[in-house]
Structures are given as structure tokens and as C-alpha cells.
Structure 1
Amino acid sequence: MKPSTQVPAPPGTERSRTPAPARVPVQPGATDRGPVRCRDEGAEDPTAGAARGEHVHAEPPLPAPRPPVRRSSVRGQVLAALRTALTAGELRPGEVYSAPALGERFGVSATPVREAMQQLALEGAVEVVPNRGFRVVLRGARERAELAEVRALIEVPVLLRLARTVPADRWAGLRPLAEATVRAASAGCPVAYAESDRAFHHALLALAGNDQLVRIAADLHRRAQWPPAGTPTARARAELVADAHQHTALLDALAAGDPDLVRTLAGDHFGAPMP
């Protein structure tokens, strides 16, 4: 057998190698959360590079790239990152984003982005725009009010039952979660607050021992956290702080076994006072 030889390519025919695009991490899972960092207020987003494939229209700039996505469970990580971007207002309502352009941002192919976006479409966060990508849904005041009403109708009766049946000492275990929401709100980071807020409400409802209830309530809660139309961040700091202090007040009422106060505080917290 003749040894193989390699013939060098003629000068000028080599392909220039362009650097791989910078990548962005996704948020860790609920059981392994790292610290959530907020961008400095007033910082401008850099203009994203040209997208490929189905990117056939001008898109708004994307946030600055970060370290790469871990390769395990790529679709789940991309889905978590997109949900975070929705909560933070980085993906703006009314704008259309293509899977290839978002894939560039996350350092992955367009396929897991499309899969994650299809899940968000089922959840009502985005809508498919044929041959262009996905448009972030404009969530107006009426839809947010409807979500608040549904959350109240589901969760308040459960809280009233828990106020009558859960021993007072059990509520002390939720105090650190309530205090975490206060710290996140005081820092003015909507992403950190959204995560701590979901953790508190999840632990609260889990005391009912109904997994289906917890799952449905978590879905409604996530939908309610997406930013309304025309707002660059999910919620103003003052509103977050007021919301967080309602958590500690609600815990005090639950520990005291005062259903009337629980009803009032929970209704105010959801923005849908109960009759």
C-alpha cells in the first residue's frame, strides 16, 4: 500500500477561519441555581451580528454575549434562558426573533431554539410568524388582570385551608424564602425576584400536597411574570419591594391562623381582592 501524501493547497485558496460567535449561558435549573446578575441600568445592548438561514429581516439588538451553554439538556437550558429573557424584558414584546439569530446568541444550532420557542408558543408567550421566526406576544393590562384573577381563584382557597390546618411552627421554614424575595426586590433585579417569588409560592402551595395544583399554579405564575407591553423591565423596583413585603405579612397571618387576614392579604397580593 502506497503511503498517502497531502498536497498543499495553492496559495490564496485557503479559507479564512472566522472566530466562533460568543455564547450566552442559560440560567441553572431550579435545583441548582447560581446567582442571577442584572445588567447595569442605562447600559446599551451591543448590536448583534448578522444572522443566517431564516433571518431575513432586521431584528432588534440582543444582549451582550456571555460564557457558553452547557451541552447537557440543551433544549431545556435554552428554554430556561428564553424565559429569563422574557421576564427581564430582553426579548421585547411585539418584536420578531429568528431561531438562527437566537442560536448565535446561545452558541447552539437553531433546532433547540425552535423547539424551545414552540413550547413558549404553547404557553402563550410568543406566536409563530411564518418564514420569519417568533413574535413576543404583547401582554396588555386586561390579560394580566385576568391572570391575576385566575391565580387568586386557585390559590386563595388553598391558603385559607392551610391557615386552618398547618401548625404554626411549619410556617417558620418558609421565612428564609420570603426574606429572599425582599433581598431580590431591594436589589432591583427582576430576574432574581421572579425566581425567588416562584420559589416562595411553590413552597407555600406544596404544603397542600397536591402536585397538579402546584404545576398549574406555577404555569399561571410564570405567565403573569412576563413584562407588559411597552415596559423595558418586568416591574419597577418600588413595586417589587412592596410585593415582597406582602410575602412576610402573609406568612405572619398564616402562622397566626387568621383566615380573614389571609384572604385580604392574598387578594391584595394577586391584585384581585376576594369577595
Structure 2
Amino acid sequence: MTVSRSTPAGKPTVRLKAVSLREQAREAVRTQIVLGQIEPGEVRSVISVAEELGVSITPVREAVNDLANHGMVEVMRNRGFRVPVLTEHDLDEIFLIRTLLEAPAMTDVVRVLDGAPVPQFRQLAEEIAAAAREGDLVTYLDKDRQFHLGLLELLGNGRLVTMVAQLRDQARMQGLQKLADQGELTESGEEHITLVEAIEAGEGELAAELMRKHLAHSRGIWAGRAEPAS
């Protein structure tokens, strides 16, 4: 909500926006977890995280409870929280389910758009590719999340979006900085641009196949190793 105040002369002063500290804390901790900045199995106290973020304990505690409901952390009574350790099998399951959901959904996205241009997704795709080239992992992750979930939101199926969002949150990136430094993220980043081109061309089956290959490629990346896109 935007709040506007005026001086006695009627001139507006600074416009203030009410921002949820709980939401900010949740996104900050989520990013740290997915990027592997909080080690799996490591016990973190809410107090220490609150100090790092420069906020009170309450919004951090609420944020941790939100993330626990999504399966990202385990709350440890009187100790804090812990990030569950993921196995290769866990990652296989996550990406298999994502593929089953997201690949066929691209055919429906193409049908719904019916050839309409999607400049917002082209911009996101270009920003993802640029972040990959620059090794900017925070931007890469943020834009990638907006891209994938945004395409699914076009279908008007809130449950589908929620399920994929939770699956993304349950995955972890391992050794991603090393891959970024070696330029191994560039190809995956540019795959988003190719997908947008297929969507705008009305190629539903191609878009589904590109998403399938992209997720197969991403499976290796999220495990910290480079894999061929094909």
C-alpha cells in the first residue's frame, strides 16, 4: 500500500510503501537455502539469522515457519531450524515431477496465448541469460523463478503454480558458483530465450520438448555438475 503525505502548501513529500518484513525475511532465507549458503544439516538459530538480516526475531520466526510448511526447513524446538539433506534420489524425484507438470503445460500455454507475443517473458529470458553470463546467481535464481512460475500462471491454475513453486524450493544448488565461473550456466540461461521463441511461434509440441530438455539440463546444474542440454 502506498501512503502519500502532503505539506501545508499542498506539495507531496516522500511516498512510503508498507513492506512485509516477514516476506522479505522469507525470501532472503529461501535464497540462502537454494543457493547452498546455508549448509544442509546445519542448525541455525532464529536469533542469528535475525541479526544477520537486521530485523527482530518475530518476522524471521514467522518466515521459518512458512518455509517449514513448504518442506524447505525442519524446525528444531528450542534450537532453531535445519535444512534437510537432499540425496541424488531426492533431486531425481523433484525434477521428474517438475518435468511431468511443466513440459505438457507448455502446450497449454501456447494454446492460451494463441500466437500473442510475450515481451515480459522475453525480457525475463534475456535477463536470465545475462545473469548466467555474468555469474550473478541471485539474479539468475530470482528471474528463473519468475519465468517458470509466470508461464504457469497464464493457465489460471493456482494449484499447479503452488506445486511447482514448492518443488523448486525443495531443491538445492550445489557448487553452482563454480559452474557459473566456468561459464557452464550460459547455455541453460539461453534455453529460456529459445523457449520463448517457440511459444510466440505457436509451436506447442516444440515448446513442451524444449522445456523437457531444459529441465533435464537443469537437473545436473542444480546438482553442481555440467550436463549436455541434449
TM-score bracket, shorter-length normalisation: 0.7 to 0.9
1:23-81 per-residue CA deviation (whole Å, 9 max, x = no partner) reads xxxxxxxxxxxxxxxxxxxxxxxxxxxxxxxxxxxxxxxxxxxxxxx994222221111
What letter is aligned with 2:28?
A
Deviation of residue 242 (structure 1)? 1.9
Q: 1:127 to 1:84 in 2, by over 3 A?
A: same
- Distance in 1, matches of 2:77 and 2:59, equals 18
Larger radius of gyration: 1
Q: TM-score, normalised by structure 1?
A: 0.65
Q: Secondary structure at the match of 1:248?
A: helix
- What percent of counterpart residues are identical? 37
Aligned residues: 200
Match of 1:208 in 2: 155
1:246 to 167, 191, 202: 191
Match of 1:102 in 2: 49
1:79 to 21, 26, 34: 26
Q: Secondary structure at the match of 2:118?
A: helix
- Distance in 2, matches of 1:214 and 1:128, equals 25
Match of 2:4 in 1: none
Match of 1:263 in 2: 208
- Distance in 1, matches of 2:20 and 2:49, equals 17
2:59 to 101, 104, 112: 112
- Distance in 2, matches of 1:114 and 1:185, equals 33
Deviation of residue 117 (structure 1)? 1.4
Match of 1:174 in 2: 121
Runs of 4+ in 1 over 4 A off after TM superposition: 232-235
In structure 2, runs of 5+ residues without a counterpart are 1-16, 220-230
More deviation in 192-201 or 99-108?
99-108
Asked if structure 1 preserves the Cα contact closer than 8 Å seen for 2:43 and 2:81, the reply is yes
Q: Secondary structure at the match of 1:134?
A: strand
In structure 1, runs of 5+ residues without a counterpart are 1-69
Match of 1:133 in 2: 80
Match of 1:236 in 2: 179
What letter is aligned with 2:161?
V
Q: Secondary structure at the match of 1:91?
A: coil
Asked if structure 1 preserves the Cα contact closer than 8 Å seen for 2:70 and 2:169, the reply is no
Asked if structure 1 preserves the Cα contact closer than 8 Å seen for 2:107 and 2:207, the reply is yes
1:77-124 per-residue CA deviation (whole Å, 9 max, x = no partner) reads 211111121133221112111111112212233332222212222222
- Distance in 1, matches of 2:177 and 2:86, equals 12
Deviation of residue 236 (structure 1)? 2.2
Match of 1:186 in 2: 133
Asked if structure 2 preserves the Cα contact closer than 8 Å seen for 1:79 and 1:113, the reply is yes
What letter is aligned with 2:165?
A
Deviation of residue 172 (structure 1)? 4.2
More deviation in 186-195 or 239-248?
239-248
Counterparts of residues 1-80 of structure 1 (less than 5 Å): 72-80=19-27
- Distance in 1, matches of 2:62 and 2:177, equals 24
Asked if structure 1 preserves the Cα contact closer than 8 Å seen for 2:135 and 2:177, the reply is no
Match of 1:152 in 2: 99
